[in-house]
Chains A and B, each alone.
Chain A
Amino acid sequence: MKRLLLLIILVALAFPAFSQTRTTITGNFKGLTFSKFVEEVEKQTPYRFYYRQAWVDSLTIQTGDYTGEVSSLLEMIVEGSELKFAISPEYKIFITKDRSISSSLAEGFFESVQNRPVVNLPKDFDLSFFDATASGNRVSARKIVTVGISDGNTNPVTMNGYVLNKASGEPVIGASIYVEGLSNAAMSDASGYYWIVVPRGRQTLRLQSVGMKAASFPIVVNGPGKFDMEMEESIIPLREVLVVADRDARVTSVQMGVEKLDIKTMKQMPSVLGEVDVMKIMLTLPGVQSVGEGASGLNVRGGATNQNLILYNDAPVYNPSHLFGFFSVFNPDVLKSVELYKSGITAEYGGRLSSVMDITSREGNLKKVTVTGGISPITGRLTVEGPIIKDRTSFLVGARSTYSDWLLRQLKSREIKNSNASFYDLNFNLSHKIDDRNNLFVSAYTSNDRFTFNRDTLYSYSDQNAAVKWKHIFTNKLFGTVTGSFSRYKYKISSEENPVDAFNLGFRIGHINAKADIDFFPNTAHSIKAGLQFTHYGLSPGTLTPRGNESLIIADEVQRERGLETALYLGDQFDITPRLTVYGGIRYSVYQFLGPRDVFRYAKGVEKSEASITDTTSFDSGKTIAMYHGAEPRFFVRYLIARKTSVKVSYTRMRQYIQMLTNTIAVSPTDTWKLSDRYIKPQVADQYAAGFYQNTRNGIEFSLEGYYKVMQNALDFKDGAVVTMNHHIETDVINADGKAYGVEFMVKKAAGRLNGWISYAYSRSLLQSKSRISSEQVNDGNYYSSNYDKPHAINFIGNYKFSRRFNFSLNIVYSTGRPITIPLARYEQNGQLYLYYSDRNEYRIPDYFRTDFSVNVEGNHKVRKLAHSSWTFAVYNLTGRANAYSVYFVPEGDRIKAYKLSIFANPIPTITYNFKF
C-alpha cells in the first residue's frame, strides 16, 4: 500500500500541468481493471486515488462509453460492491471497504472554525466508525467536538445532553460533569440528563461516575448546544465501592441528610440468606433503624414505619416486603440506585413525614440483549433486557421467585409441615427516546405473596404499581416531565378452620397520581423546579364475607374511603456567591376526605366509643367530609468555609394524610391504612437540622449532622385496640405528639482498595399522648419512648479489594435494644396467674450486635466471553451472637420466666451464584 501510494504521488507530481478544475472524464472503460481505470482518470483529471490493491483485484469495470463526472462514474462502479469512496476538496479520492470516511476534519479541529467551508458528507456516512462527528455530537473518544453555533456573544453558555453507558446505552445517573480548570460542575439526573454552564472557546469536559471509566472530552464551545457523552464501564467487574457518585457532593450540595447507594455497593455487602436487600442495607446508614431483624419497616430519624415515602420509579409502594418482612420486594438485578432523604427534602416530595426513599430501576440495554440472573438459597431470579429499536427503545423484564416451600417441609412442626409459602415479583420497564427532546419511560411492577398455614388458612397479599413518564426538553434551560402513576396494595385472608365461621377478609388500597413538573434554569445562579400533583386515594378498609355454605359469618364491609390530595410546589436553588447556596421551597397541599360516607358523631368530653355515638351524618358521593390544607416550607443553606469544608442548616416541614393502623410492634402484613378524616387529623412534622462536612485530601469524608424534629398528630393506639374490621377506628386510637432528636456522625472513605464507613448516631424518639380522658392517654400523659427509640447506634461497613477478582467485606452493627413493655408483677384471678405490665416502653431488650462478612469472587477477566459469572460467599452474624429479636414471658410453675427469641442466633453461611450473558 505504501509503495502504491508513493507511486501514485510520484505520478501525480509528474503531471503538475493538468487543469486543476476538470472533474469530468470521457472514454470507454469496459473491461479495464480498476488500476487501469485509475490510470486513465488520473491522466484526464487532477484526481488522485488512494486505495488498497487487494480490495480492487477482482473488480473489472463494466461501463462502456462514458462522458461525465468522475464521481457519478465511481458511483456506478462501486454500486453493488462493498467499496465506498469519498472525494476531498483537494481532489483526492479515497476508496474504502465497507465504510465510507469523512474526507474533512471534524469541525472545530482548529480554533478558527467559523470560516471553514461546509462539507457535505456522503449520505451513508457511518458515524459509529468515528465515534465523533460534528453533527452527531455523540462522543466517547478523544476527538474535538464543536458545540453550538457562534452568535458573536462572549458570555458563558448552557450546554446540555445525556450521559450514556457506551455498552448498554442506558443513562448514567449521578455522573459528575465538570469543566477542567473551572469550578463549574453538574450532575446527571435520573435519565442521564445534565446541563452545565461553560465559557465559550476551547474547553475540556471531564466526566466521572461510579463504576465507569473517567472520561474527558475536548470541546469547542461556540454557543448553547446539545452534547451527549458516553462512558465506558470499568471493565474490572469487581465492584467499585461506593456510593455517593460525586465525592464532594456531601460537602457541596445544598441538601443534607441524603444518602445514596448504587446497586454495586449493595451487592457486595454481606446479606442474610444471600438476598441483596435494599431495605436491610438502608439500616446500615446512620439515623435508620428498624424494630427487629426480620421486620420490614424502617424508622428514619425517630419516625414511624408508615412515615416513609417509598417510591419505585415514581410510584409509591405500600408494602415493600416479602415473607412478612424477611426480604424486600426489590429485585437487585433490576435496580439501579436508591436515594434516601432523611432531611433536606425538596419541595417536590411530600405526603410522608420522615423520609423519602427513591428507588430507581435500570433501563434496558439499548445495544444488545443481555440476560442476568442469580441463585441464592431462597430465590432464583432472571432478568432479560435489550433493545427493541437499537439506541432508541429498550425493554427490561425481571422476575424473581422463591422455592422456600421445600424449606418449610424440612421442619418438624406439624402445622408448619402443612404450610406452604411462596412469593414472586416481576418488573417491566420500557424506555423510548422519541427524539432528542422527548423521552418516554414506562415501568410496571408486581409482587405477590401467598402463605397457607396448616392447610386451612390462606394468606395472600400483593403490591402492584405502574408509571408512565414523559420528559420533554423545551429549551436548554427548561424541561418538563409529566408522570402518571398507579399503585395498588391488597391482602386477603381466608380461613376454613371451622366451617361455621369460615371467612374471607380483604383489604385494598388504590393510589392514582398525576403530576407535572418543570425544571427551569434561568441563569447560572438559579435552578428552579415547580409542579402540580394530584393524588387520589381509594381504600376498602375491610370486607368480610362468609366462605362456604355452612358459614354463619355475616358479610360485612367497613365503609370505603376516598381522599384527594392536591399539591403545588415551587423551589429554587440559588447560588448567591460561590460559597453560599440557599434552597427555598414551598409546597402547599390541600387534602379532602370525600364521601359517600356515614360519619358518626360522638358526645363531647367523654371517651369516643360505641356508647358515646350520638348521631350519624350521611355524606353524598364526592362531598367533602373533612378538608385540611397547609404550607410545607423547606429551606436549606450551605456555606463553603473552604473548598472541601462546609456547614449547612435546613428546615423541613412535611404533612401526611394517610396513616398506617398497626397494633403490633413490627410491620405486619395485616396492617391497614387509614386516610385522615374528621377525627384522625393529618400528621405534621417540622425538622430542624444542622451539619458540618469536611473532605480530606486523601478522600476521607467527615460529616456531623444534628436534628430536632417535632411531630403532631402521630397515631398511637389504646391498649388492646382492634384494627381489623373496625367500623369506628377513631374509638381505638390515641392522638400522640412526637419529638425526635439526635446527632449523626460519619467517616467515610468512598474509594480506594480499602473503603467503607463508620457511623455513630445518637437518636431519641419520644411520644406523648395527652387527653382529658384517661383511657385515651398513655403513661399518664408523659413522654414515652416509641417502639423504635434506640439511642445509640454504631455501624462499620468495610470493604477491601485483595485483587481484581477477590473482594472482602465486613459489617459490624451495634445498637441499643428496643424499648419494651414488661410484666412487673403477677397476681391471681380465678386461681390463675396474670401479669401486671410496666408503663408502655419503660424497659429495653438487650443491645444488638452483629458482624457479617462476605467474599466476592469474580470469574476470569476476559472481557469477551459467553457469560460473566460471580460467586458470593457470605456469613451473616459471624459471631453467632443470639441477639434478642423479642423478649417474652412464660409462666413456669409459680414463677414467670423471661425468654428471648433470637432469629439468627447462629452464623448463617450462604453461597450465591450470579451470571450475566
Chain B
Amino acid sequence: MLNRNSLSAFIGTYMFVLLLGACVEPINLPVNDADVNFLAVDAYLDVSHGEANVKLMRAVPINEERLPFEDDAFVAVEDNSNNQYVLSNLDSGRYKLTGFSPSADSQYRLYVKTSNGKEYRSEFVTVKSTPEIKELAWRARSDGTQIVLDTEDEKRETRFYRWNFEETWEYHSRYVSWIKFTGQDVDTILLDIVDSRGPADMIDKCYKTRSSAQILTSSTEGLARDIVNDFEVTFIPAGAERLGYRYSILVKQQAISKETYDYLERLKKTSQDLGGLYAPQPSKVTGNFKNVNNPEETVLGYFDAGYSTEMRLSITTDELPSYLQFLEESPFSCRIDTATIAELPTLYASGAYTLLEYFAGEDDTPIGFTYSTNKCADCRTRGGVATKPPFWP
C-alpha cells in the first residue's frame, strides 16, 4: 500500500542531492567480538508438497565468511494434538521431512534439541490457504524489463502475501568448443587426447538458476479488495545477459499471517534499509523461537507453515524490444590461439584452456588446434550448468 520505504528512500536520496561534497567510504567500526554464536533456525512446512525443510545454523560476526552448520540435532514438527513428526538430518545443517499429510485446522510448531542438549520451540502457527497467482507478466520499461504479478483473493481473507522466485536463464560462451581432451596419457597416443564432442557434451550453452535475494511481501490491508496489482517481482536492467537468449522465472506465492508479515517487514529492515538518517531505527529482530528452559537466550529465525501456489513465465530475447536485449561484450578479453600437436600436452597440463577446433592434415588427422581460455570457451566456468533444465524447450 503506502510505500513507506520508498518514501524514506527518496528523502534519503534527496539528501545526497544537495550534498555537493557528499561521499561514501568504508569504515572500520571498533566492534568487540561479542559472543554472537546464536542458533539460527530457518524452517518452513510446505503443506502443498507435504514436506518440511529445516536448516540449523549459527550466527557469525558480520566480517566473518564461514557459516557454521548445526548437525546432529533432534528436529520435529509438533501439532496441537501432541503429534510429533521427526525430521531426518541430511547434511550441512539441513533436516527434512517428506510425505507429511496435514490435518485441517491444525496448528504446528517446531521443536529442536541441539547436540549440546539445549531445547528450543517455536510458537504455534496456523496454516492459511493461498490463492492462485492471477497473472505474471513482463513489461518493457525505458531502462529495463520489469516482471510484475497480479493476484487477488475474492474471499478477501489472504491480505498478507509473500513471494519467492527462482529465475533461470540461458547464456553462451564466447566461442564454441567442438573438440575435447580425452584420456589421461598424453605422451603415448596423441590422437586419443582429442575427441569430438557429442550433443550432450557441448559446453557453449549453460543454464544458471538463482533464487530471489530479497524478501518480497505485500499487504492489502486497507484496500477495499484483496488485490495486488503490478507487484514488481524483479527488475532486469537493459542489456543484461539474463535476457540474452531465454529467461524463465518461477514465482511461488504464499499466504502468510499478520505476525509473519510483521516479522518479515522487520527482518527486511535489518538487511535492506541499512542505516541512513531517515531510515527507521534498525532493531534487534528475533523470530518465534525460544529456548525452552532459558527464555532470555537469543534465538534467531522463524518457523512458518503454509500452502504455496506458483506460476512460471518465460521470455525469449526476440520478444523484447531491441534496446532491452543483451549487449554482448567481451568481458574476458577473449581471443583464439593456435597450437601444434606438439604443444598440446603443455596446454592440457595447465588445465586453463579449452580446445575449439582442429586443422586436419591430408589423412584427416589433426595437425594443429585452436584453443581459448576456459572462461571464453567453457560456459560452466561462469557458474551455470550445461544441462538443460526440464522446463526448457
Contact = CB atoms under 8 A, between A and B. Distances in A.
B28 interface: yes
A665 B2 contact: no
Nearest to A498: B230
A822 B223 CA distance: 36
B266 A824 contact: no
Nearest to A880: B21
A905 B27 CA distance: 14
B18 interface: yes
Contact of A833 (B4, B222, B271): B271
B269 A902 contact: no
A834 B14 contact: no
Contacts of B240: none
B341 interface: no
A179 B298 CA distance: 73
B302 A829 contact: yes
Interface string B21-65: 111111111110010101010101000000000010111111111
Contacts of B23: 882, 901-902, 905-906
A454 B275 CA distance: 22
Given A663-B280, A887-B29, A905-B22, A837 B285 contact: yes
Contact of B223 (A552, A901, A907): A552
A209 interface: no
Given A500-B230, A826-B62, A829-B302, A899 B283 contact: no
B290 to A, nearest CB: 11
Contact of B13 (A415, A828, A839): A415
B2 A725 contact: yes
B62 A895 contact: yes
A697 interface: no
A283 to B, nearest CB: 16
6 contacts: A415-B13, A553-B222, A821-B282, A826-B62, A837-B285, A905-B22
Nearest to B295: A774
A292 B164 contact: no
Interface string A524-568: 000000000000000000001000000011101000000000000
Nearest to A665: B277
Given A404-B18, A905-B21, 18 more contacts: A413-B13, A416-B17, A453-B10, A459-B11, A664-B279, A719-B285, A820-B275, A827-B57, A835-B282, A837-B270, A838-B34, A894-B65, A896-B62, A901-B275, A901-B276, A903-B19, A904-B20, A906-B20
B276 A886 contact: yes
B13 A664 contact: no
B3 A832 contact: no
B31 A824 contact: yes
A181 interface: no
Contacts of B225: 552
Given A497-B3, A832-B214, A834-B271, A827 B19 contact: no
By CB atoms of chain B within 10 A, which of A451, A666, A720, A896 has the most? Answer: A720
Given A324-B14, A823-B282, A900 B65 contact: no
A326 interface: yes
Nearest to B211: A831
Contacts of A906: 20-21, 23
A419 B62 CA distance: 36
B84 interface: no
A110 interface: no
Nearest to A832: B213
Contacts of B250: none
B301 interface: yes
B327 to A, nearest CB: 18
Given A663-B280, A827-B59, A831-B211, A724 B25 contact: no
A720 B277 CA distance: 15
A294 interface: yes
By CB atoms of chain A within 10 A, which of B20, B21, B275 has the most? Answer: B275
A889 B15 contact: no
Interface string B247-280: 0000000000000001001110111001111111
B104 interface: no
B8 interface: yes
Interface of B: 1-4, 6-8, 10-11, 13-31, 34, 36, 38, 40, 42, 44, 55, 57-65, 67, 143, 164, 211, 213-215, 222-225, 227, 229-230, 262, 265-267, 269-271, 274-285, 298, 300-302
- Sort A-B residue pairs by CB-CB distance and give the 7 closest, nearest first: A888-B275, A719-B283, A825-B36, A906-B21, A827-B40, A825-B59, A896-B62
A160 B74 CA distance: 90
Given A451-B14, A823-B62, A898-B27, A836 B270 contact: yes
A722 interface: yes
A497 B6 CA distance: 11
Given A419-B17, A828-B40, A899-B27, A554 B63 contact: no
Nearest to A835: B270
A514 interface: no
Contact of B25 (A413, A720, A832, A899): A899
A889 B62 contact: yes
Contacts of A670: 7, 11
B268 to A, nearest CB: 9
Contacts of B63: 895-896
Contact of A717 (B14, B215, B230, B281): B281
A416 B16 CA distance: 10
A839 B36 CA distance: 13
A279 interface: no
B274 A414 contact: no
Contacts of A839: 284
Given A323-B18, A720-B265, A829-B40, A840 B274 contact: no
Interface string A713-744: 00001011110110000000000000000000
A503 B223 CA distance: 12
A722 B8 CA distance: 13
B62 A503 contact: no
Contacts of B227: 500, 552
B21 A823 contact: no
Contacts of A890: 274
By CB atoms of chain B within 10 A, which of A453, A501, A666, A830 has the most? Answer: A830
B283 A898 contact: no
A889 B274 contact: yes
Contacts of A326: 18
A7 to B, nearest CB: 80
A296 B25 CA distance: 24
A407 interface: yes
Nearest to B20: A908
B22 A552 contact: no
A457 interface: yes
A408 B16 CA distance: 10
Contacts of B65: 893-895
A836 B19 contact: no
Nearest to A891: B271
Nearest to A828: B57
Contacts of A669: 11
A877 B277 contact: no
A894 B262 CA distance: 26
Contacts of A886: 275-277
A294 B11 CA distance: 12
Contacts of A905: 21-23
A369 interface: no
By CB atoms of chain B within 10 A, which of A668, A829, A839 has the most? Answer: A829
A594 interface: no
Contacts of B285: 719-720, 834, 836-837
Nearest to A295: B277
B275 A889 contact: yes
A780 to B, nearest CB: 9
Contact of A828 (B11, B22, B67): B67
By CB atoms of chain A within 10 A, which of B18, B30, B265, B283 has the most? Answer: B18
B4 to A, nearest CB: 7
A473 interface: no
Nearest to A664: B278
